[in-house]
Chains A and B, each alone.
Chain A
Amino acid sequence: MSAETGIGAAVKRREDLRFITGQGNYTDDLNVPGQAYGVFLRSPYARARINAVDAADALQVEGALAVFTGQDTAADGLGDLPCGWLVKSRDGSDMVSAPHPPLAVSQVNYVGEPYGLVVAESLAAARQAAERVDADFEELTPVVATARAAQASPIHQGLEDNLAYDWELGDEAATDAALSAAVHVTRLDLTNNRLIPNAIEPRAALATFDPTNGEYQLRTTSQNPHLERLVLSAFVQIAPEHKLRVVAPDVGGGFGSKIFVYAEETVVTWAAAKVGRPIKWTAQRSESFLADAHGRDHVTHAELGLDEAGRFTALKVSTTANLGAYLSTFGSSVPTYLYGTLLAGQYKTPNIHVRTHGVYTNTAPVDAYRGAGRPEATFVVERIIEAAARETGRDPAELRRLNMIAPEDFPYQTPVALVYDTGNYQASLDKALRLADYAGFGQRRAASQAAGKRRGIGFSCYIEACGLAPSQLAIQLGAGVGLYESGEIRVNPTGSVTVFTGSHSHGQGHETTFAQVVSDKLGVPFDDVEVVHGDTGRVEFGLGTYGSRSLAVGGSALICASDKIIAKGTRIAAHMMQAEPDSVAFEAGAFISGNQRLTLQEVAFAAYVPADYPPDLEPGLSEKAFYDPENFTYPAGAHIAEVEVDEATGVVQLANFVAVDDFGHVINPMIVDGQVHGGLAQGAGQALLEHGIYDADGQLTTGSYMDYCMPRADDVPDFTVDTTVTPCTHNPLGVKGCGEAGAIGSPAAIINAVTDALGTEDITMPATPEQVWRKLRGL
């Protein structure tokens, strides 16, 4: 296939022309006749009883159409927002999933929680009316701090200790025994800071209802429109699936935050039928801060045992995970199955035990955010290894190498459920050490010192589990849905190809990458392949884009569908060439038998104009496949950070960053580099800048860009990124996923560099200038 556009080519993203010229079609760009506007009423309190909501004055505003409260949605039978993953506690009991009505009925539980919807002819009128709604709240004492949630009064009725679950994985007795027998035990207390996702496009919804046929249509900022439809249909019960179409048009980033089924999109859809008008709602940035699901927020104690030679003998981890006021769609799975299972890292630690207390607090719900559990796991493993190296006087790179799973050990069964299929961790580490000029670090440190600055270097050899997931395994572990993906290939009569995928692109570049895959596989020109996604009315089914799964699962589905196309085409071609199907080979877009040759285009035409055609074969050339992975994929890599600390101000400058990642085969190296760069910037944000902070009253104090510090271009260095390749053994493309690696590996590397520079392990993320300045002074 063409070297310019096939697998492995750095094809420029075809979607970018519309994005960079302002021609994208985002939800807020769409307008329909008769459209009204919605504004949500949001709780100003972290915890309060709702005594009354009086909308009489609001409805006097010119243009006001309706005000709905939780009483209205409840009276109409609107279901609760479900959590899609049932986690069981260590005693076998089900997690406690607190009722989560789309609009709060009698109590609000976090600042920004919606308790009403105002609909008006214009956005200005809706805002004005919203200001005139008189809500009578009775404030209650909120539960805010993660670590102390269990000691506070119950947020949800009857739920002592605010505990959603007490989960564990691994053999506790064996781990304790190994720790007792260890020659050295490193102990570390860690906080994984709360992050706020900040996709560039805020969430939005445009809902319509057609009374002539009872059909709803929701255009919304979703990473997986089919899941949205499934939940709104099966759980919230707005309409059956055949009467509900969900379209996710161009979507400006998600990082996980647009996977979930939120109150706003749900209520706007319901209200469109009630008001009899299309309703548009677009979040203001301040609403995004308050009401998008947040990420991370763990408090952890970890212990790592080592033997005389420095081999890890045991890792014991205890984590309190803040789940927020309600369980978001996948919130329960993130600090359990996406976290505890990753604690083996790249190492042969024989005994691992993890226990996670998932707690409710009066804060925004917490759910998957770029990396989702895996950055938290990596932070624990890679921080404690670095600390152990320092405590035992070992080189941190060599301590890692000593403990790494060797290439010949695969497939490798970890003590925490996963089976790694392949990898070569040493190769990535070696390459990273070379690119980072580890040998020259001492000289660079001396040069920094001469300039009044402290220099530090830090490592992170991360692993992640991507390509979610074998459906049966996931469902056994509590997932409410399968985790396969669908793909459909339509070869049109003249040979162009329309591809339908259940994956959704909101920045990842599927329209380019997936076209490369299909063009390469079927041997048709890249420009003849169109990729359709994000519309339940056009794509059969899908489970969406998250967990770096699109290519490994969605791409594999397209390969399977392509194989069916080739198989059917082979039968058609064999008939046309009067050859045995077994004698026909498909190469570079043509069916070949002996010296006869038919192009896919010719065969496609014959399939739709079946003049000379196998009698027992259906016409047409369109095939579907559902691909269910055999295993997770396991991208892994070595990240090395170097920082310079200004002693006078405490400012940490990220001086150098090397990332060597093994993503298996790479379809488009330019897009992969871009994904890694973006992830690294977010990781640098977590390590040095970003922090979602609630004060003691449960008010979000970092609720705007004045205080929530996003990484900017000048906060990060010119990243050095490279790859190694061990192809995934169980999917047809040999791919693993690259979307989250940067954000997973980098925070630990950066904090390891900061702690190296400062000579203390006691630094919490983000390593702000004042915190570092205080440590430097021993304050």
Chain B
Amino acid sequence: MNPFNYHKPSSLAAAVALHRDAEDPAYLSGGHTLLPTMTQRLAAPSDLIDLEGLTELTGIAAQGSVLSIGAFTRHAEVAASSEVRGALPALADLAEGVGDAQVRNRGTMGGSLANSDPAADYPAAALALNAVIRTDRREIAADDYFRGLFETALAEDEVITRIDFAVPSRAAYEKFPNPASRYATVGVMVADFRGAVRVGITGAGPCACRAPAFEAALSARLAPASLDDAELPAIDFNSDLHASAEYRAHLVRVMAQRATARIAAGTD
């Protein structure tokens, strides 16, 4: 790891100001992608700006049809939160399955969404749950947020403050883990908003996406069989050692069907 300056600002405005003035800065929000990259000397930021403790980025609140989660909330906190468990059990389940215990106790929701790893879990939820990504300067609909491989709508110095999830009547997340890394080879969240179904997919392509034909088929009839012949999303499916594009595409359908089966069975 190369030497760097460490900052722990006491306000969001100070954090953004530090970022603006530093030579090659990076926000630190859990660091479970950034720090390993730095120890491998693949990244060498001049300044790390730690977002821990900023009040604008903390707290979980369920208000009617919206569950609002502060960006610095760690995965383990999401998994353990009674508010999340009550309003959106599928999201708590998803959080419980992110990485391992060490990752869950350090990594944050905002950090994960800002990084937009193609195999991260949260992006599937953000899309399926029609999330609004709130930042220090604006609101971004999840549908407009994911732009490509590790690429989002965020500006260089922009900070996610909260994520507001729409609360569906039912939802479920199914993941097919990469056997080695346990990242999502494919992860699919299906959310039923009183008959209008949204499907968020991660792991399959360069970034998370929705599956319009799946959504139409499930909105017509919420059953696994509805997806038997539904068209897959029109993306370039990833291909790697563990899953070819063809196999991944197949897994998208299977995971979507399994998530559908769970909510249709009323277990989620």
Contacts and interface: CB of A to CB of B under 8 A. Distances in A.
A binds B: yes
B179 A768 contact: yes
A115 interface: no
B243 interface: yes
A760 B244 CA distance: 22
Nearest to A777: B250
Nearest to B246: A779
B265 to A, nearest CB: 15
B242 A649 contact: no
Interface string A121-162: 000100110010000000000000000000000000000000
Interface in A736-779: 768-770, 773-774
A702 interface: yes
A770 B244 contact: yes
Contacts of A286: 40
A200 interface: no
A474 B31 CA distance: 54
Interface in A698-747: 701-702, 705-710
Interface string B230-268: 000000000001111001001100100000000000000
A705 B180 contact: yes
A590 interface: no
Nearest to B255: A649
A640 interface: no
A770 B183 CA distance: 16
Judged by DSSP, the binding face of A is: loop
B181 A706 contact: yes
B241 A693 contact: yes
Interface string B1-26: 11100000000000000000000000
B41 A131 contact: yes
Nearest to B183: A706
A708 B247 contact: no
A551 B251 CA distance: 49
Given A127-B41, A131-B41, A705-B180, A768 B254 contact: no
B176 interface: yes
A567 B179 CA distance: 59
Nearest to A689: B179
A648 to B, nearest CB: 5
Contacts of B243: 769-770
Contacts of B41: 127, 131
A707 B241 contact: yes
A705 B181 contact: yes
Interface in A236-295: 286
Given A649-B254, A768-B242, A707 B181 contact: yes
A705 B100 CA distance: 13
A769 B179 contact: yes
Contact of B241 (A127, A128, A648, A701): A701
A708 B251 CA distance: 21
B242 A773 contact: no
Contact of A707 (B176, B180, B247, B254): B180
A487 to B, nearest CB: 43
B179 A770 contact: no
Contact of A709 (B1, B2, B176, B180): B180
Contacts of B180: 689, 702, 705-710
A770 B242 contact: yes
A646 to B, nearest CB: 9
A580 to B, nearest CB: 69
Contacts of A768: 179, 242
B254 A770 contact: no
B179 A649 contact: no
Nearest to A648: B254
A773 B241 contact: no
Contacts of A708: 180
A366 B226 CA distance: 51
A707 B242 contact: yes
A702 B254 contact: no
A708 B176 CA distance: 17
A481 to B, nearest CB: 38
B68 to A, nearest CB: 33
A710 to B, nearest CB: 8
- In this complex, which of B179, B247, B251 has the most chain A Cβ atoms within 10 angstroms of its Cβ? B179
A89 B28 CA distance: 60
Nearest to B180: A709
A769 B1 CA distance: 37
A713 to B, nearest CB: 12
A135 B176 CA distance: 43
A648 B252 CA distance: 11
A702 B41 CA distance: 19
B251 A649 contact: yes
Nearest to A286: B40
A693 B1 CA distance: 28
Contact of B176 (A128, A649, A689, A705): A649
A128 B41 CA distance: 10
A709 B183 CA distance: 12
Given A693-B241, A702-B241, A707-B241, A773 B250 contact: yes
A58 to B, nearest CB: 15
Contacts of B250: 773
- In this complex, which of A127, A286, A709 has the most chain B Cβ atoms within 10 angstroms of its Cβ? A709
B247 A770 contact: yes
Interface in B198-236: none
A709 B179 contact: yes
Nearest to B185: A769
A112 B176 CA distance: 33
A774 B251 CA distance: 13
B181 A773 contact: no
- In this complex, which of A127, A648, A705 has the most chain B Cβ atoms within 10 angstroms of its Cβ? A648
A234 to B, nearest CB: 39
A129 to B, nearest CB: 13
Given A127-B41, A131-B41, A649-B254, A773 B179 contact: no
Interface in A80-124: 124
Nearest to B40: A286
A287 to B, nearest CB: 12
A290 B176 CA distance: 29
Contact of B247 (A127, A128, A693, A773): A773
Contacts of A773: 247, 250
B41 to A, nearest CB: 7
Contacts of A770: 242-244, 247
Contacts of A128: 2
Nearest to A128: B2
A491 B241 CA distance: 58
A709 B41 CA distance: 24
Contacts of A702: 180, 241
Contacts of B181: 705-707
A687 B179 CA distance: 13
Contacts of B183: 706
Nearest to A688: B179
Contacts of B1: 124
Contacts of B2: 128
A293 B244 CA distance: 30
A42 B241 CA distance: 25
Interface string B35-47: 0000011000000
Interface string A684-699: 0000010001000000
A128 B2 CA distance: 8
Nearest to A701: B241
Contacts of B247: 769-770, 773-774
Given A649-B251, A770-B247, 11 more contacts: A124-B1, A131-B41, A648-B254, A649-B176, A689-B180, A693-B241, A706-B178, A706-B180, A707-B242, A710-B180, A773-B247
9 contacts: A127-B41, A131-B41, A693-B241, A705-B180, A707-B180, A707-B241, A708-B180, A770-B244, A770-B247
Minimum-distance CB pairs A-B, first 3: A709-B180, A706-B181, A770-B247
Interface of B: 1-3, 40-41, 176, 178-181, 183, 241-244, 247, 250-251, 254
Interface of A: 124, 127-128, 131, 286, 648-649, 689, 693, 701-702, 705-710, 768-770, 773-774
